Amino acid sequence: MRDSTQHTRVIVGVIPAAGQGARIAPLPCSKEVYPIGYQPAESGNGVRPKAVSQYLLEKMCRAGIRTAYVILRDGKWDIPRYFGDGTSVGMHLGYLMMGRPFGTPYTLDQAFPFVGEAIVAFGFPDILFEGEEAFSRLLECQAATGTDVVLGLFRVDRPETMDMVECDVDGAVRSIHIKPAVTSLEYGWILAVWRPSFTEFLHEYLALSGRSDQTAGPDAVADAPELSVGHVFQAALRHGLRFHSVCFADQAYVDIGTPLGLQQALQDPRFTGMATGSR
């Protein structure tokens, strides 16, 4: 079923799936295709397991997003084997390979030559969240405000594990705090949409980082801490890019990339009982 909101802009999903899943290793598959909940079987009789990242793709599809790039690392071939060309989720999927192993921003930058002047919709494939119209709301906010980046905010129980966001009363983002040990802030971001202005900023910021393809040897990750998307958001704010937010105050999320989060996702009907399709 298509979302009733029609977007005339070109919107492309970008999904990082190059992580090693070390926090819940070992697994029999990539964590992005770990089964969480069920969906109707193609035969129409009974159900079959549903991969965790399918929930994210379905939410993008409901927002009218029909093209997405999934960025992989070598060996994670079970992801394209599961989703194929994207027909099963009503989308056109392309697969790119991770280049520099220095964190999610470098993974996302692999899509730079392909997204062009498109609006980018971004989400983590191992985070489940409530709100079937989440991306539609972010895109509507971006169109209404004209801001460079719109963040989707959720209430966070453990701020030390998330990027916390400080906003004005109208939703304009004032600052982003990376996994603060102590804070009075209540909301962190877990999804985003952004204009080409941020895509360009991200590309140029990483180009100036001093980490070239030639430094991506086997010891590269150990030499320096990984850069997060939140760090680049912080830099973009300082540079003058405009950020806004949409708050999902009454909605829940869970990160299945941790043992506790995986257990919660498997047991909580808010996640295993999510909508079973959007095509």
d(C-alpha 95, C-alpha 212), whole Å:
22
- What does the pLDDT average to over 126-139? 96
pLDDT per residue over 180-236, tens digit each? 999 999 999 999 999 999 999 999 999 998 665 544 444 444 455 789 999 999 999
- What does the pLDDT average to over 123-148? 97
Nearest Cα neighbor of 201 from 177, 175, 171, 229 is: 229
Residue matched to tokens 């989440």? 134
User: Of 24-33, 78-87, 124-133, where does mean pLDDT reach its minimum?
Assistant: 24-33
Contact 59, 135 (CB under 8 A): yes
Is the link from the previous residue into 49 a cis peptide, with omega within 30 of 0?
A: no
The larger pLDDT score, comparing residue 54 to residue 48, is at 54
pLDDT per residue over 52-82, tens digit each? 999 999 999 999 999 999 999 999 999 999 9
CA angle 68, 227, 181 (to 5 degrees): 115
pTM for the model: 0.89
- pLDDT at position 108 is 97
Question: If you average pLDDT over each of 22-31, 150-159, 257-266, which comes out highest?
Answer: 150-159
d(C-alpha 195, C-alpha 1), whole Å:
26
Q: Which amino acid is at 181?
A: A
CA angle 160, 204, 244 (to 5 degrees): 50
Per DSSP, the residues of the chain read ---S----S-EEEEEEE----GGG---SS-GGG-EEEEEE-TTSSSEEEEEHHHHHHHHHHHTT--EEEEEE-TT-THHHHHHTTSGGGTSEEEEEE----S-HHHHHHTTHHHHTTPEEEEE-TTEEES-TTHHHHHHHHHHHH--SEEEEEEE-S-GGGSEEEEE-TTSBEEEEEES-SS-S--EEEEEEEE-HHHHHHHHHHHHTSS--GGG-STTHHHHSPPP-HHHHHHHHHHHT--EEEEEETT--EEETTSHHHHHHHHH-HHHHTS-----
Answer yes or no: is pLDDT of 277 > 50: no
pLDDT per residue over 109-125, tens digit each? 999 999 999 999 999 99
Residue matched to tokens 């079923």? 1
Domains in the chain and their CATH numbers? 11-216+225-272 (3.90.550.10)
Bridge partners for 51 per DSSP = 35
Residue 2: pLDDT band (50, 70, 90) is: very low
Answer yes or no: is pLDDT of 272 > 70: no
Neighbours of 107 (CB within 10 A): 25
pLDDT per residue over 140-192, tens digit each? 999 999 999 999 999 999 999 999 999 999 999 999 999 999 999 999 999 99
Contact 70, 96 (CB under 8 A): yes
The larger pLDDT score, comparing residue 277 to residue 10, is at 10
d(C-alpha 136, C-alpha 145), whole Å:
14
- pLDDT at position 42 is 80
